[in-house]
Amino acid sequence: MKESDFMEKIIIESEYITLGQFLKFANIVSSGGMVKAILQEYTIYVNDILEARRGKKLYPGDKVLIKGIGTYRVGN
């Protein structure tokens, strides 16, 4: 199986989405207040680079890995 077989694709309608918005949009958190806790509790990689900023911009094609939760691909 390819790596992409395990990824959930999250479709966005805009040019980009912030990491905090992405976590809500992908139903990983139910509210914006929970984003900070997720960023502190889980290890998150964007395109294989460790990331902890809720304002990090994600563009179509970006890969988001949240250890213990899953792997996602931003799409359009």
pLDDT tens digits, residue range 15-67?
Answer: 999 999 999 999 999 988 899 999 999 999 999 999 999 999 999 999 999 99
SS3 9: strand
- Inform me whether the pLDDT recorded for 1 exceeds 50: no
Cα of first residue to Cα of last residue in the chain, in angstroms, is 24
The domains located in the chain, with CATH, are 3-75 (3.10.290.10)
Say yes or no to pLDDT of 5 above 70. no
pTM for the structure as a whole: 0.88
Q: Which DSSP letter does residue 36 get?
A: H
> Average pLDDT of 8-21?
95
Residue 2 tokens read as 């390819």
